[in-house]
């Protein structure tokens, strides 16, 4: 298991090199894979990493999945019903599953979450030496995995995008989100670390 600092140094090298030409037409998407036990450490390291990239001539931007998910949930019209049902009920597995499905539908409805990421990418389009970090990806649990978003964004990634991915690697191409989801090999991106 590669420590996050070492993975970041490899990412810096890859950003300097660029993705080059790809026969699959991949977007410049990088997954910085780290064991879930390093989630807090990676959050603490972000300021240092942004400074290092700045010294390398990069402008490092971020988009927090936790803030984005929270914003989408906060603006949901039936949010008060969610809160009331949670406040007035003991744990009920069926009710929990219904709530989870309702929340997932808010994120996927009209591609709301994908559209937020795409809008941020469009804001950054044309800015040279700019990289976008997707942070707090663990906030997508239990609703969806980031690979779904990557597929939806295919062809729309305008600057290098680094997904700070809490999970583990399974072979060369598969990732296990948070270390406990089943292995998923449907990522088109470059995996670093893990």
Structural domain contains residue 81: no
Structural domain contains residue 91: no
Structural domain contains residue 94: no
Structural domain contains residue 102: no
**For strand 190-193 and strand 29-34, is the pairing parallel, antiparallel, or unpaired?**
parallel
Structural domain contains residue 103: no
Q: CATH code at 28? A: 3.40.50
Q: How many domains does the chain have?
A: 1
What pTM value is reported for the model? 0.87
Q: What is the pLDDT of residues 127-160, one digit of tens each?
A: 999 999 999 999 999 888 888 888 889 889 999 9
3-state DSSP assignment of residue 63:
strand
Distance (Å, whole) CA 184 – CA 121 = 25
Q: What is the pLDDT of residues 97-123, one digit of tens each?
A: 777 787 888 888 888 899 999 999 999
- 185: containing domain: 4-65+111-193
Q: CB count, 10 Å around CB of 5?
A: 15
Task: Give per-residue burial for 110-149: e unless 16+ CB within 10 Å, then b.
Answer: eebbbebbbebbeebeeeeebbbbbbbbbebeebebbbbb
Structural domain contains residue 151: yes
Structural domain contains residue 54: yes
């Amino acid at each position: 298991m590669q420590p996050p600092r070492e993975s970041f140094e490899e990412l810096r090298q890859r950003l300097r090199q660029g993705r080059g030409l790809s026969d699959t037409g991949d977007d410049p998407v990088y997954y910085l894979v780290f064991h879930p036990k390093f989630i807090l450490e990676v959050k603490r390291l972000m300021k240092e990493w942004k400074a290092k990239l700045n010294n390398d001539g990069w402008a490092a931007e971020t988009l927090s999945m936790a803030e984005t998910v929270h914003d989408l949930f906060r603006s949901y019209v039936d949010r008060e019903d969610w809160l009331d049902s949670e406040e007035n009920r003991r744990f009920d597995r069926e009710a929990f599953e219904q709530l989870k499905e309702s929340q997932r539908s808010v994120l996927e409805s009209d591609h709301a979450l994908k559209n937020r990421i795409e809008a941020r990418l469009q804001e950054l389009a044309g800015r040279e030496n700019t990289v976008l970090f997707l942070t707090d990806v663990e906030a997508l649990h239990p609703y969806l995995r980031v690979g779904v978003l990557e597929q939806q964004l295919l062809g729309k990634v305008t600057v290098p995008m680094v997904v700070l991915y809490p999970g583990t690697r399974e072979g060369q191409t598969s990732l296990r989100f948070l270390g406990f989801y089943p292995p998923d090999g449907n990522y088109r991106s470059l995996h670093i670390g893990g």
